Chains A and B, each alone.
Chain A
Amino acid sequence: MNKILLICLFLLQLGQGVAQNRFPKPDFESGYKYPEIHYATPNEELLVMVDIFLLVALMGIVSWAVIRKRTRKPIIWVSVISVAYFGFFRHGCVCSIGSIQNISLALVDNTYVLPLSVLLFFILPVLFAFLFGRVFCAGVCPFGALQELVHIKSYKLPRTLTILLGMIPWIYLIFAILYAITRTSFIICHFDPFIGIFRLGGELGMILFGVILLILAIFTGRPFCRFMCPYGALLSLFSSVSIWKIRLTDKSCIDCELCHNACPVDAIRAPYQKKATESRLRGVKRLLNYFVLLPLMILCGAFLMRSVSNELSRSNKEVRLYEMVIQHEANPEEVLSVDLEAFYGQGGVVEELAKRAEKVQTDFNFYSTIAGVFIGLVIGITLIELSVKRTRKLYEIDHAACVGCARCFSYCPQYKIGNESGNTSL
């Protein structure tokens, strides 16, 4: 017994340098057999197929419900299925919102492996938005569905506030793409408010944020979708030019305001008669000023983002590691951190790391400038949107903002007449 120990210790001294196989394979005399161990693997391929099938099927049901039947009941069921399956069963990865990052990274980086499921999760809702409007948001997206299911009362927010808060998704989208294509971080996934709720555990701050959003969602329609979701922003571009559009009724609008009050996301615009609060010339001048201001804002955005790009790049792992190396070289007597230990332990070359870090920084420099251009554009266009007022004679659906929840249909008195006589044609 002790002999073996001694041998072990001796071998240990010998084998310090050698990584593996310090001890020989034992010769068992008692006919011992190695245990067979199998590690569980879920049938991921099947699950992915089910995911994609459900995605298409649910979006199809919603499209049929909002475009053809004009009814809300199927959408509630779709929401329940989506929250149960995509949310609580599949725990939401990969979701369409997060897939933006994979797609943009795949577009700039040829070496990045893009699985088919991610591509489909990104492109199918976009395609459906292009055909039928934001049917994905209606109830197929587990986040939208969750907020939809808790929503009780629609308190309207002031229009100006809605427009201003509506900038956040765009800026979030720009930053998400910036951080994804520089291989820094997938911020949409890290700051996901509802994933913790679906997983029944996670970072406390994010869960709290999710709960606050859900409480807000009781009183005002879908705060996450309207004021945060970058994918919703993207879909709104496609839904505003969609081929088939949601229409409230085939009959003429009677100007009753009921649909406007029923809409949780403020997507039904009230009639607006141009009241001359200012002369036409002044209005045009103001608008022209904004258009002159727009390039200026773009330039400002580009300049500002470029000047902070080095600061932004510090959230990249390579850059951070390089900074640690520099700090360590400045005072080498300090205890090595875990990262540096691993870096030196794996025989990392400082010059190569420096090169990689520098590449990340130049990438950040370049892409931050572009991001700045877009941020300037978003702010400028929002300002223009605030000042332009179009004449509307009747209530109109803003297809970019409409998420197809179908609450408005049952409120429309004209719809009821049409439905009773069985007239539900497109």
Chain B
Amino acid sequence: MEQNNENKNENKNSPIARRKFLRVLGTAVAGGSILAISGGLISRVKGSEVSHYWQIDPQKCTQCGRCETDCVLQVSAVKCIHANKICGYCDLCGGYYRSNVKELNTAAENLMCPTGAIQRKFVEDPYFEYSIDESLCNGCGKCVKGCSSFGNGSLYLQIKRDLCKDCNECSIATVCASNAITRVSLDKPYKLKDE
């Protein structure tokens, strides 16, 4: 306090000078903190990628159905994709038909997919080729559940990169029951089963 008074006597503009000093101090602190944060974090960035994507690990996924409901998009960015190379091409497909069907025809009540997104094409006796119409798929994962419990697991869910908004925090990941959604690097945007 005494020192302050002395300063005042020395310099009539003392409060202004003090304010100026505080401002310079503030500038120094602010500049220093920017340098510190960027310096501290740039070393962390080094070697990692410019950006990254959210993706589902099909090995962990339990098809709880939240992908359909919890995406920020009205129709989820999660779609079912089909790995032809591990598909059994069966007629009685656990992903195509419901489990208790009596007749193997394409009547809607027999089919697993609620939106009719799974299409099948006759290849040769007894094989059928299955494919997903992405525009119809809503990512509910019912077929995936059927395929992985009764079949080869060739149907699985992935986040489609052209649809996903790549939210800072994936809102499906926050509710995912099996913690299957994690960040992947840009050069490996999908976790494909047939690679």
Contact = CB atoms under 8 A, between A and B. Distances in A.
B45 A342 contact: no
A107 B40 contact: yes
B31 A26 contact: no
Given A119-B41, A202-B72, A98 B52 contact: no
Interface string A235-261: 001101111000000000000000000
Nearest to A126: B34
B161 A93 contact: no
Contacts, number: 184
A119 B51 contact: no
Contact of B50 (A5, A8, A115): A115
A238 to B, nearest CB: 5
Interface stretch (B2-10, B112-120, B166-174): B166-174
B12 interface: no
A116 interface: yes
B93 to A, nearest CB: 9
Interface SS of chain B: helix, strand, loop or mixed? loop
- In this complex, the member of A115, A130, A203 whose beta carbon has the largest number of chain B beta carbons within 10 angstroms is A115
A305 B158 CA distance: 40
Contacts of B190: 39, 41
A42 interface: yes
A106 B41 contact: yes
A237 B150 CA distance: 60
Contact of B51 (A41, A48, A91): A48
Contact of A106 (B44, B89, B152, B162): B44
B18 interface: no
Interface in A375-399: none
A175 to B, nearest CB: 15
Nearest to B176: A342
Contacts of B41: 103, 106-107, 114, 119, 123
A116 B44 CA distance: 9
A20 B87 CA distance: 10
Contact of A117 (B27, B50, B183): B50
A48 B50 contact: yes
A202 B70 CA distance: 10
Nearest to A27: B127
A339 interface: yes
Given A22-B88, A26-B89, A114-B45, A39 B123 contact: no
Contacts of A238: 30, 34
A45 B152 contact: no
Given A35-B129, A102-B168, A116-B48, 16 more contacts: A4-B126, A21-B152, A23-B88, A29-B124, A34-B84, A37-B82, A39-B158, A40-B162, A93-B166, A99-B168, A101-B168, A119-B42, A127-B34, A201-B73, A241-B27, A339-B64
